[in-house]
Amino acid sequence: MQANDANRVRRELLIKIVREFMQGNLAEKIDRIPYELRPRDGQSSRCCVFKDRAVIKYRLMAILGIGVENETDEAKPLSEYLQDALDRELPDEDILSVLDVACSHCITSRYLITNACRGCFARPCTFNCPKKAIAVVNGQARINYDLCIDCGKCTQVCPYHAIIRVPIPCEEACPVNAIRRDEETDRQYIDFKACISCGKCMTACPFAAILERSQIIDVLKLIKAGRKVIAMVAPAIVGQFAGKLGQIAAALHHAGFARMEEVAYGAEMTTTHETEEFLERMKKGDHIMTTSCCPAYVEAVKLHVPELLPFVSDTPSPMRYTAEAVKKQDPDAFTVFIGPCVAKRKEAVADQNTDYVMTFEELGAMFAAMQIDVSSQEALPLDRDVKGYARGFATSCGVSAAILEELHQSHPEIEMPEINKQFINGLDHKTVKQLALYGRGKLPGNFLEVMACEGGCVGGPCAIGKVTLATAAVKKAAAGEV
């Protein structure tokens, strides 16, 4: 996660919510939080403190799990929204909200000539523009936007790099064009029929105008009521907190969770079943099989790349296998998946065994609010002996490595099909088009691993550790250093 003011404020609000809730003061204090953070004589980050307070209120609503679209009465206080959150039995199925009051309504994406332009004699920008949309006026190049088709040839040939592209960050980040501007209201909105819940727009928006609807209140309510809540932690967790897995387990227990369950245990089952499925598919003549553990990728195929759908593995994700095992062992327990992923909230809606989803960011806020230092915890023994390759699922190519190892370990006696593994390390406009080519058999490979986030799960939108350090930590865990 990038270090910036937007993330700092979100974390600060999460910490306040957790601290006041666990101390029993949230109902009486939540309405004052916007005023405490933006006092009348304080410095504002927008036009005025009053707008800042409004934005903070909506951010707090999102932390309570309530979409800003649900506000029908602007005078309704946060304390009443808190009560709504406490009264609900199930979290909202919608994952993201666009906060229009925070949105800067970015100008339409276009190319812009900066003052670095020298009005050079060669003028390659004018000669290479297919629509003759550029002319040099008074020694400076100018773009006629009525003619410009945004092809970008001018920026490619300018020797001074004086022509830049000014994007709309959220639209640029979305790999499936699910966020766009409403022409009537001039506001951005998310088309949930196209959205794959990858969270890329949320991290890309420099105004933090796209909010994730949290389920942290639902989890805190259960913990405070003394219910049995089991934390199912994604393999990527080892790179997020300063401590080993046993210390993270101890910290979670200190925070009120009954115990920690590694989702890497479910990754073992995913690996076993996906390996068998690959062998069966190759035997029956399929030209390719793709992974299925990334919910954003699977949703992208369902909604946008139907030609690839028959080749997506039918094997459930590690989260589903882990939740199923937990519920089988303890049917009355509540399961909470904790990871770096927004799309897991969407996947959990369809999984009867996963009750709630939290992010690493939210867990970090819990630890901070409860003053739990992971690195100082006395490590608890891990409940299961998990295979190393299962912990490697968190990084790009980790699933492929697990499948290969499983093939060699489980079937040494049979002749293996030749594996031509391919990788898509992050979804964007280009790689989504590649998916369609794989579906039509136009690209080489018979096993395709796809991760929506660059670097794998360690690069998820709600990760808090640096990708490079998190990747190194996951590889150590995969090698047995837990």
Whether the per-residue pLDDT at 67 is higher than 90: the answer is no
**Which CATH number does 218-478 carry?**
3.40.950.10
Domain with CATH 3.40.950.10 in the chain: 218-478
CATH entry, 110-166, from 3.90.1150.10, 3.30.70.20, 3.40.462.40, 3.90.850.10:
3.30.70.20
Whether the per-residue pLDDT at 91 is higher than 90: the answer is no
Q: What is the pLDDT of residues 199-213, one digit of tens each?
A: 999 999 988 899 999
Distance (Å, whole) CA 482 – CA 318: 19
- Greatest extent of the chain over all pairs of C-alpha atoms, in Å: 78
Distance (Å, whole) CA 426 – CA 396: 9
Position 87 confidence tier, pLDDT thresholds 50, 70, 90: very high
User: By three-state DSSP, how is residue 450 classified?
Assistant: strand
Q: What is the pLDDT of residues 32-65, one digit of tens each?
A: 999 998 888 877 777 788 889 999 999 999 999 9
Are the CB atoms for 370 and 264 separated by under 8 Å?
no
Are the CB atoms for 359 and 5 separated by under 8 Å?
no
CB-count exposure of residue 301 (10 Å: 0-12, 13-18, 19+): buried
CB-count exposure of residue 10 (10 Å: 0-12, 13-18, 19+): buried
67-81, 159-173, 278-292, 435-449: which range is least confident on average?
67-81
277-281, 346-350, 406-410: which range is least confident on average?
406-410
Q: What pLDDT score was predicted for residue 105?
A: 76
Residue scoring higher pLDDT (187 or 264):
264
Percentage of the chain beyond pLDDT 90 is 75
Domain with CATH 3.30.70.20 in the chain: 110-166
Read off the pTM.
0.91
Instruction: Tell me the mean pLDDT in the region 446-457.
Output: 95
Instruction: Tell me the mean pLDDT in the region 463-467.
Output: 92
What integer best gives the mean pLDDT of the chain? Answer: 92
In terms of phi and psi (left: phi > 0; alpha: psi -120 to 50; beta: otherwise), the region of 445 is left
User: By three-state DSSP, how is residue 440 classified?
Assistant: coil
